[in-house]
Structure 1
Amino acid sequence: MRVVRNTLDGLERDLKALPAKSVRDCKATMRQAGIVGNTVARDNARKSSGTHGKLYPRAFTWETGAYVGGFGASFTATYGPDANRPQGGMSFEFGSRNQSGPHLDLARSADLMGPVVAKEVRDMVDGWFW
């Protein structure tokens, strides 16, 4: 059994370190979410695109962003096909007249990533205090 001793001085120290630590941790968490989400979506595209879209999975990229304003900060991760890459601008996601139905590669990855990112954020915040 472990005994934990907390003091007000310790809490004050932790709270003073929190702004810098939270920015670093939020950026890292969203970076990892972008990488994993892109990998999942690209794997979905690789399975669903077939020979007609053989270059489509290679068009997937990811990026992160941070926006700081008067009401706080927002950290984002974006992933998916880049229209500037070969077949990146094709309409595989929602279907077209040349394919039987939508592929939903991004939607399937979002269904998986949504709960995972929510848990990662909760764990990150818990880690700031425990």
Structure 2
Amino acid sequence: MARALEKGGSLHTGGAISQVTRKERMEKKLGRPVAVPEMFKVTHVKKSKNPTKEERWIEPRAQETYDRYIRISQEYRSTLPLESQDRPFTQEENENLWKQSAGEPIRGSVYGYPEKAYHKKKS
């Protein structure tokens, strides 16, 4: 039913692994925090065994949202002072840029933004 909705569902390639678990595994493997757009791309591009094959997004909406994020983040970067333009975005900057790219929340959720995966864990 979620797949049948025009903007309500979200197809992904994540399978049964939760976003929180996937994020933790990626961070452990990479040795650094993982940003929302990075997680989104991993879970919305079909994996190919042929490395020369072009990446295939699972749905047009996913590619459009990611491309919009790239455009908005480039525009934002160009507004930063020259000495700051090469630094990586902070987690907060990435989250805000993603939320701008994804559009208005639907049923309280931002498309492609698994909030539970990005809340700070309490010890």
The interval holding the TM-score normalised by the smaller chain is under 0.3
- Higher relative helix content: 1
Q: How high is the TM-score relative to the length of structure 1?
A: 0.26
Q: How high is the TM-score relative to the length of structure 2?
A: 0.27
